[in-house]
Amino acid sequence: MAITTCIFDAYGTLFDVSAAARELAKRPGREEFAAHWPQIARDWRLKQLQYTWLRAITGEHTDFWSVTQDGLDWALEAAGLAGDPVLREDLLALYWELSAYPEVPRMLATLKARGFTTGILSNGSPDMLAGAVDSAGLDLYLDHVLSVEQVGIFKPARAVYDLVGQTCGTAPAEVLFVSSNGWDVAGASGYGFTTVWVNRAGEPVDRMPHRPAHVLTDLTAIPDLAASA
């Protein structure tokens, strides 16, 4: 069955989750933060994800903005910078304006020009996703922006992947699902999507029951892959 629909994870796939910390580290007066920002960015992302998994397992759902704040608080405390409320607020404000990876606008525009349906399927809350899409100027290239808040549980729960078929009217085999998260790709592969793992860091494939159909280092080749899959 030919691919008709290309669905993307948002954070870490279309949007650079390190951009908030990296941008703040460049500002005058933030020399102490600049010395720690790479580790803070890594810890922030890791805890953000861990908290989604734990909340899904325990059935204690909250929105993604809450786990984003909780993850940042952990990361700042671990770096010894928890006592600076202005630093915290500046980082959270920048998270609403994450930059897209450089190849994203042209890649999405090419998909649209070739007649593919495009969309986001994300753990992000609707307002966060709207802010990121608007800030990156991607509105014209996306047909759907789907949030887990519609089902009240984080990925990789199957109910989240169900949203694609319910919204787009597609069978799983018609969907090319693209994510930078190995665990997300594993869940989507098991669901029946044709999957692409965007492995920008050159990491090993996760040891999960289901593996990615394709592995890329960035998103440039997605239009050609969708056409040939």
Low-confidence ranges of the chain (pLDDT < 70): none
DSSP H helical ranges for the chain: 19-25, 31-34, 37-58, 64-78, 85-95, 104-113, 126-136, 158-168, 182-191, 222-228
Encode 51-74 in three state secondary structure.
HHHHHHHHCCCCCHHHHHHHHHHH
> Domain 5-15+99-228 falls in which CATH fold?
Rossmann fold (3.40.50)
Q: Which whole-number Å values give the CA distances from 6 to 31, 119, 183, in the listed order?
A: 41, 6, 18
Catalytic residue IDs = 9
Confidence (pLDDT) at 1: 84
Confidence (pLDDT) at 34: 96
Structure tokens that stand for 30 in this block: 């933030």
Domains 5-15+99-228 and 19-95 share a fold: no
Residue 118, beta-bridge partner list? 6
- For the segment(s) 19-95, the CATH number from 1.10.10.10, 1.10.150.240, 3.30.420.40, 1.10.287.470 is 1.10.150.240
Confidence (pLDDT) at 19: 96
SS3 157: coil
Give me the residue spans of the domains in the chain: 5-15+99-228, 19-95
Task: Give the pLDDT confidence of 13-43 residue by residue, as tens digits.
Answer: 999 999 999 999 999 999 999 999 999 999 9
192 and 24 Cβ atoms separated by less than 8 Å: no
Phi and psi based region of residue 154 (left: phi greater than 0; alpha: psi -120 to 50; beta: remaining): beta
Q: Does the CA dihedral 229-165-103-214 come out positive or negative?
A: negative
| 59-64 LR contacts (CB < 8 Å, sep 24+) | 61/152, 61/153, 61/154, 63/125, 63/149, 64/122, 64/123, 64/124, 64/125, 64/128, 64/148, 64/154
